[in-house]
Amino acid sequence: MLDVSGMRFFSLQKGGVPAPASFHLIDYMDEMNDFADTAALIANLDLVVSVDTAVAHLAGALGKPVWLLDRFDHCWRWLAGRLDSPWYPTLRIYRQPSPGNWDAVLKEVARDLQRLVTVSRQRQRDGEPPQGAHDPHGKKRRAVTRPGRHAGDMPRLRDATGRRRSAEQ
């Protein structure tokens, strides 16, 4: 999945074992003091790919496209036989086809990420706005980036007291 060209990947994991350096993740999480900070970071991403965590729910609640990597014996809230969620309209579920089979999930996500990059590049060449990351097949036309904004160009965030600060502080 991380081999898809044309994408930058950001870590949204707070604490715990860090990802291997070979993953080349951009990581601002040490600068996140609370969920409001994490929400500000997510607001500037085009897509969140996550297992079933609070971050996936936060991104879904914010209306950001979320690709949820779900286990075979899924939680009840993700419903059987569905690839979408009634709770979060921008969420797409990638479920294990059998217990422990994450390889199939990651291959499907990588394929859809590559498709998303390819379609996005074509749309840019055609002068069209980008499509929504929640739909790699181009069925909905919804911009997920703001002109001149990239996830690496962090906005000013609010700290726990409500004061504005830049992500670089």
The model's pLDDT over 104-113, given as tens digits with 9 standing for 90+, comes to 999 999 999 9
Cα(104)–Cα(124) distance, integer angstroms: 30
Res 5 pLDDT > 90: no
Average pLDDT over residues 65-75: 91
Cα(48)–Cα(38) distance, integer angstroms: 12
pLDDT band at 148 (very low <50, low <70, confident <90, very high): very low
Query: According to the model, what pLDDT value does residue 4 have?
Result: 83
Average pLDDT over residues 60-89: 90
Res 89 pLDDT > 60: yes
Query: Could you tell me how far CA 69 lies from the centroid of its own chain?
Result: 11
Res 25 pLDDT > 60: yes
Three-state SS string over the chain comes to CCCCCCCCCEECCCCCCCCCHHHCCEECHHHCCCHHHHHHHHHCCCCEEEECCHHHHHHHHCCCCEEEEECCCCCHHHCCCCCECCCCCCEEEEECCCCCCHHHHHHHHHHHHHHHHHHHHHHHHCCCCCCCCCCCCCCCCCCCCCCCCCCCCCCEEECCCCCEEECCC
> Among 116-120, 129-133, 149-153, which is the least confidently predicted range?
149-153
